[in-house]
Structure 1
């Protein structure tokens, strides 16, 4: 069976995507999700060769959706920030298609706060919360900021899941619409 392939960064992303697909009533037998472990791997042709992804395009995968974090351009990393990420993923998609010698369906979704275009999955989720839960989570972030925690996104997501159990995500929120469209396009 030919499947659609979703490439994401890590385990939290994969779990979120699976929940979203289930909420859309997608046939999960027709979609494979693969973690690439880090954002930098998205932009390396060799990684797609080494992971045997390129060899499976057209025979096992007919559509690919790349999903990764925008992160922050202020960090100075080569592919961080929405517009650098966009440019980098478009370049690698061209390289993949040139390497294979044929065209196929590809799309991407850069995960961030849709207003600021910065951040990651946790910032997208935060942007969809009602006023009171959002203030609560923003207070938590402000509280831990002086401690220079490297993974405040992990703290935020864990805190959110612990405090606001049901419903975990409001997938009907407009800030999820673009991702919803891209997931539905996979069939």
Structure 2
């Protein structure tokens, strides 16, 4: 048994003689074996499941690596970035903005002129369509008036034809009636 484990009661005492010796010896060794197993389980647990010592070691290594070895290098990089950012915002950006305004001003004027021209073309097209629409409406009204006049004329001519037809029918009836009379005269002979 290891020195850190506590021993059970009576381990340092002499075992009484008699029939109970065997039972106490087996219990004594079983208790010390159980203590050894518990101790071993504790060590296994600390090695396999307790990661605090490893994490603490890694954290110390990271801090040491970052602060001691990279500290000045990171500061230089940050200073360079700060300098580049200031230079960009104070010098490069205004130059780019000025160049962009100089380049885009003629383009903007061209786009505005094109938009105005397109607007004029659209207005002309609207006016042309309105004139065409007005012309179509006037033409439709004129054609409707002509159609009405034509239909009135046709009704008049139809009435004249119907009247002429009625007169011709009357003449034919009279003629056939006369022919029947003449035929009846000749058939009586």
Q: Structures share a fold, TM > 0.5?
A: no
Q: TM-score, normalised by structure 1?
A: 0.17
Larger relative contact order, structure 1 or 2 (CA cutoff 8 Å, min sep 6): 1
Higher helix proportion = 2
Higher strand proportion = 1
Q: TM-score, normalised by structure 2?
A: 0.17
From the CA coordinates, give the structure whose radius of gyration is larger: 2
